[in-house]
Structure 1
Amino acid sequence: MGSRNRRRIGIAGAVAGVGAAGVGAAVGLRHLAVGRVRLRPDPDAGEPFGELRGRELTVEADDGLPLHVEVDGADDAPLTVVFCHGYTLNQDSWHYQRRDLRGLRTVFWDQRSHGRSGRGKPTHATIGQTGEDLYAVLRATARPGEPVILVGHSMGGMSIMALAGRHPELFGDQVAGVALINTSCGDLAEMTLGLPLVLAKLVRPLAPRTLRGLGRRADLVDRARGLGADLAFVVTRRMAFADKHVSPTVVDFLEQMIRATPIDVIAEFYPALAAHDEAASLDVVGKVPVLVVAGGQDRLTPASHGRRIAGALPDAELIEVDEAGHVLPLEYPGVVTGGLRRLAERVRPGYEEERSA
């Protein structure tokens, strides 16, 4: 792997699993989690989640769809970092990185049909299209030749790989670095969602049909989702996080983002994620330094997918957080932010001093 630097971060303590003991137990667990907020300090309880805003910009995608974009930092900053969020989320999922990164110009955008971007056509709910959307965002927010780092979580990482496959000329020229977090270059049809392999093989074929059916009853389903907040909290905690000490406030914040994404949008994008295959684009991504971050307990894009990506790149730093799930930017924000600072220093040594001069 050449100069790849592998890091593994272990967090002391066992990870408590959540058993499938029925809805009653799930609701009880949710009440227990909320009770812990009252019994011990929650350092995240006062975080202004969803309130950090930048200079707003509307970018038109190649099919005319309006994409919601926000920019932080000075336009003459020596480096721009563009953040691409994951499936069912929005740009607010980068809360801690937006709060903590200094000396950089940062760009955040909502993927089509997510957050405050426009509602796309169902036939345009593809990873290839999100790559073209990212291209439009880049053209609108970064000057030609200006160094840019692309950061993608989950589906956002796939969007970056799709961009590389369709616009390889950008990498090594304008795109000077890439960070891929909790993502995959393909073979997601084989994911088990943490289920035993035999059971997972039975469930996988049902998921697309089930989601399509729910999508056709979107209004009814979305109303029901609002009524099932207790159960949704527990499912979100189980599927997205692995750290048993994760703040209930953070879990609530993530669950609210997911619930704000219409069920028909979830249904439309699911087949694209399952069929996603951008392994061939890694040759292009590998032209620049890359940070790969994976969660050892990630049920959606397992750590093996991150290892596969890093193993195919000549200059990658792999960080694997053993006791982390699928949403590392919220679960272990310091690990992600620290990795991005190191990547920025690799791409443009002395950028912090240059910015503060």
Structure 2
Amino acid sequence: MPELTLSDGVTLHVEIHGEADAPATVVLVHGWCLDRRTWRQQVTALKRLGRRSPRVITYDARGHGRSGATELGGATLGRLGEDLAEVIRVYAPSGPVILAGHSMGGMTIMEYAHAYPEEFAGRVAGLLFVSTTAEGHTHTRYGLPPQLATLMRAGEVLGAGLLARSGPWAPHRLLLPALRPAVRWLLFGDDLDDHALQVTMRCVGRTSLRSIGGFRASIGAQQRLDTLAALAGVPASVLVGERDRLTPPACAESIAAALPGATLTVLPGAGHMLTLERPDDVSAALTAIVRRATRTRRPRRVTNRLDQAA
């Protein structure tokens, strides 16, 4: 599998599926403390589209999976948006691109749109946001009463700061069996396939302490509803689990309200890990976006920040 050395020297592990002359390219961007393996079932679904099958790119974000470690200063959503731009320029230099992001991956897409509005407008033909937010931790309550949620967030932020300075290693993988109940409670809903939890635990085990802690501040602070409001004309779907404790339905509702023409789907009983927990629903939404994007594209204009200011 190819590796991409980014402009700051970090190496990304990239996987490419499909032909270079496919009608479109889909880039799948994973979430915080996860890696490209969370998208495997969607990759398989896209391969079944026959002559409409797109080229599919998955990659491990810096500090995650098989990609290289990041310096603490590079553990930001803004840097992840830059990384996504580099991935697209190298592996999908032409043709329509469909972007799908889960959790932090969705926030990464928003950062790319914010940093490169004209490039985004000229290339991106479809969007899928899964279990993500454009408002940092504004709506995050962990499924707890407000006072307990405030205490938990304070503890999480403090702990993240300590982990961020612990270095690019992952000793917590030795503690995964003990962490399993907490991860299951935090990330999953009513019904759980044990394989989905196993994949999640393996991803968490490969994420460095620096990445677990380092990205937390940026994730909590992001505000990109204005960026989404400028993306008129891009086919888009927004999915969220009814029982998502990290990015609850209010997060998806605000994204859908800001993004003109977006379709919102709330999946009953589901939690945060929809790509593994409800893979068929995610795959159906993604393939529908791909089918729309691979039809004859009409010229469109995306409002940028200068237009809004005029």
- Output the TM-score relative to the length of structure 2: 0.89
Q: Percent identity?
A: 35
Contact 2:139 2:250 in 1 (8 A): no
Show structure 2 runs of 5+ residues with no match. Answer: 48-52, 298-310
5 Å-filtered alignment, 1:262-341, equals: 262-341=208-287
CA separation of 1:123/1:137 partners in 2, compared to 1, >3 Å: closer, same or farther?
same
CA RMSD of aligned residues (A): 1.9
1:100 alignment partner in structure 2: 45
1:129 alignment partner in structure 2: 79
When structure 1 is superposed on structure 2, of 342-351 and 269-278 the one drifting more is 342-351
CA separation of 1:226/1:128 partners in 2, compared to 1, >3 Å: closer, same or farther?
closer
2:13 alignment partner in structure 1: 68
CA positional deviation for 1:57? 1.9
2:96 alignment partner in structure 1: 147
When structure 1 is superposed on structure 2, of 254-263 and 295-304 the one drifting more is 254-263
| Letter in structure 1 aligned against 2:25 | T
Contact 1:125 1:268 in 2 (8 A): yes
Correspondence for 2:34 among 77, 81, 89: 89
Once residues 107 and 327 of structure 1 are traced to their aligned partners in structure 2, the CA distance between those partners, rounded to angstroms, is 20
CA separation of 1:78/1:267 partners in 2, compared to 1, >3 Å: closer, same or farther?
same
Q: Which has the larger radius of gyration?
A: 1
1:175 aligns with 2:124: yes
1:242 alignment partner in structure 2: 189
Runs of 4+ in structure 1 over 6 Å off? none
CA positional deviation for 1:100? 2.0
| Letter in structure 2 aligned against 1:71 | I
Once residues 195 and 213 of structure 1 are traced to their aligned partners in structure 2, the CA distance between those partners, rounded to angstroms, is 24
CA separation of 1:311/1:297 partners in 2, compared to 1, >3 Å: closer, same or farther?
same
CA positional deviation for 1:70? 1.2
CA separation of 1:286/1:243 partners in 2, compared to 1, >3 Å: closer, same or farther?
farther
SS of the residue corresponding to residue 228 of structure 1 reads helix
Contact 1:93 1:254 in 2 (8 A): yes
SS of the residue corresponding to residue 173 of structure 1 reads helix
2:148 alignment partner in structure 1: 199
Once residues 196 and 164 of structure 2 are traced to their aligned partners in structure 1, the CA distance between those partners, rounded to angstroms, is 27
Correspondence for 1:213 among 137, 148, 162: 162
Q: Deviations over 1:230-252 (max 9, x none)?
A: 332211211111133x2112211
Contact 1:88 1:257 in 2 (8 A): yes
CA positional deviation for 1:163? 0.4
| Letter in structure 1 aligned against 2:134 | C
Contact 1:161 1:285 in 2 (8 A): no
- Output the TM-score relative to the length of structure 1: 0.77
Once residues 215 and 165 of structure 1 are traced to their aligned partners in structure 2, the CA distance between those partners, rounded to angstroms, is 26
CA positional deviation for 1:262? 1.6
Once residues 25 and 81 of structure 2 are traced to their aligned partners in structure 1, the CA distance between those partners, rounded to angstroms, is 18
Contact 1:172 1:287 in 2 (8 A): no
Correspondence for 1:112 among 40, 55, 62: 62
Show structure 1 runs of 5+ residues with no match. Answer: 1-55, 352-357
Q: Deviations over 1:148-193 (max 9, x none)?
A: 1001000000010000001111233211111111000014155111
Contact 2:60 2:67 in 1 (8 A): yes
2:307 alignment partner in structure 1: none
| Letter in structure 2 aligned against 1:140 | V
| Letter in structure 1 aligned against 2:96 | P
Contact 2:170 2:207 in 1 (8 A): no
Contact 2:238 2:263 in 1 (8 A): yes
SS of the residue corresponding to residue 22 of structure 2 reads coil
Contact 1:158 1:183 in 2 (8 A): yes
| Letter in structure 1 aligned against 2:257 | G
CA positional deviation for 1:350? 8.5
